[in-house]
Amino acid sequence: MSETNTDQPTTFLGRTGVEVSRLCLGTMMFGDWGNKDHDDSIRVIHAAIDAGINFIDTADIYSFGESEEIVGKAIAQSGKRDDLVLATKFFNGMKQQPNYRGGSRRWIIRSVEDSLRRLGTDYIDLYQMHRPDEHTDIEESLGALDDLVRSGKVRYIGSSTFQPSQVVEAQWSARERRTARFVTEQPPYSMLVRGIESDLLPTTHRHDMGTLVWSPLAGGWLSGKFRKGQDLPSTHRSDRDPSRYDLSKPGIAAKFEAADKLGALADDLGVPLVHLAIAFVLRHPGVTSAIIGPRTMEQLESQLGAASLELDDATLDRIDEIVPPGTNLNPEDAGFSNYWLAPERRR
């Protein structure tokens, strides 16, 4: 157990022996994509740390490095770098020119140095490949990442939004080549996006990986604001991309219908829908931590108590009736676009 008391439950990160809070602070909304006020964003990060969250996740692509810079400032001001498990990611294009993205050795070596500088730290606890790279052998990516682990710049490595077969291939390659292996996977998971229950979660569990699920509130659909008989709310996400909330699309209409029913269930239970949503993903035995992504202090405070909520079997059965296990109500929410199904790949 931790030496200091914490308001947040903790667990182990796969088989690493590293202890992390069950709520992980996601920082995509700090910076130009969300909260542009650096001081306010830092206050939210400090509040999360003070509440017992010791796990922070960011990525180089979030506001093109600005999120990492904010996280770095917040950690430096807190004086608690050694108490925190800091995760970031690489892969997505940081410039329009060639060779500023992907899983090549060339880009991995460059991107980690950029992230270390922006974060103001000598090491990254968990360095994650943000998406699989169809153009690069996984052996090359793992080889470069292994060098970073051996150099001490990175403690552990992980993947994000890999498909089950890609998870297995990466595990096999690491064992065959005797390199560091991915110890975590980061997929989308919520009461509305349950596709990973079919194969991915059993796969990561089988390989003793920690699983860090993103978007447990389904992009705000499980915030409690989407209910029948009320006008659709204007949110930060809907203002940025109205198409994601277009009820004329069958998948989105299905999400709205389910969100309303889940909201009614939360009302029956006497708990906020936000808490029900986060507690649901944490209830799965294959899930390590749920990544919450608050933009404001109010949003953070509304989510902090969720990890302590215990859901009984009767409640889980009612959720299953609304959204069947293994189902993504909107296929576009899977987080992975299968490029092999594009017409030019099939003809």
- Strand pairing category for 10-12 and 124-129: unpaired
Burial class (CB in 10 A: 0-12, 13-18, 19+), 18: middle
Task: Report yes or no: 136 and 144 within 8 Å, Cβ to Cβ.
Answer: no
- The backbone torsions φ and ψ at residue 239, rounded to the nearest 5 degrees and listed phi first, read -65, -35
Q: Any catalytic annotation for residue 245?
A: no
Burial class (CB in 10 A: 0-12, 13-18, 19+), 105: middle
- Strand pairing category for 10-12 and 19-21: antiparallel
Distance CA 292, CA 249 (A): 27
What's 11's DSSP letter?
E
Task: Report yes or no: 102 and 146 within 8 Å, Cβ to Cβ.
Answer: no
Please count the residues of the chain.
347
Q: Which position among 62, 127, 189, 245 bears the catalytic label?
A: 62
Going 311 to 317 to 321 to 326, the CA torsion angle's sign is positive
Encoding tokens for residue 251? 């998948």
Question: At 169, is the secondary structure helix, strand, or coil?
Answer: helix
Q: Which residues are catalytic?
A: 62
